[in-house]
Structure 1
């Protein structure tokens, strides 16, 4: 039996607002907008998208699943995301990590990684 990942579903209060934020982050677009769901993706033929679904309760703990973004320039990307409405968060990651933890406008954490070339040299650095 074959199976594929269709959507990653994110609980949200402001579906259009959060969908718009992630469209700007990923340079994606809204593929479907209904009262109880908004779906975004790179295009209508993409095998996987993100679906925002309404919830009434507020987020209270760290996400059990999060996105890792891999930019060419970590510092520039963090600044761009902060300008879009993300904010820095501390989830106990410490100072000696190769990623920056941010949260989207509804508090969902995500990471901005160092470029792969710098990850190799960071891993090999002495502790």
Structure 2
């Protein structure tokens, strides 16, 4: 038996707004929208994607799952994402961490890692 990752679900108070924010932040395309769901992918037929699904309550605690991104230039990417509406957050990473923790407009944490040593 083989499993293939198709998408990561993200609960959102406003799936369309949050999904559009992520689509623009990642340069991904919208593949599906409805009143309660907004799905994006790197390309129309490329998975995994992110599927934003309506939930009535706002985020209340640190996310139990988050995304990590490894850019070529961490400082430039952090600055771009902050200018796009992300905000820096402290989840206990300390001052010496090699990654930067940000949150999207609904407070979902994600990390921008240092460039690969390769």
Is the TM-score greater than 0.5? Answer: yes
Structure 1 stretches of 4+ with a deviation exceeding 3 A read none
What's the TM-score once normalised by structure 2's chain length?
0.95
**Structure with the higher fraction of residues in helix conformation:** 1
Deviation at residue 32 of structure 1 after TM alignment: 0.6
Per the alignment, residue 104 of structure 2 pairs with: 104
In 2: Cα distance, 1:114 partner to 1:7 partner: 25
Per the alignment, residue 69 of structure 1 pairs with: 69
In 1: Cα distance, 2:71 partner to 2:2 partner: 32
Name the Cα RMSD after superposition: 1.1
Per the alignment, residue 16 of structure 1 pairs with: 16
What's the TM-score once normalised by structure 1's chain length?
0.89
In the TM superposition, what whole-angstrom CA distance separates every residue of 1:75-123 from its partner, at most 9, and x where no partner exists? Answer: 1111100011000001111011100000000000000011012xx8xxx
Residues 1-127 of structure 1 mapped to structure 2, 5 A cutoff: 1-117=1-117
In 1: Cα distance, 2:92 partner to 2:114 partner: 18
Contact (CA 8 Å) 2:29, 2:44: kept in 1 or not?
no
Larger radius of gyration: 1
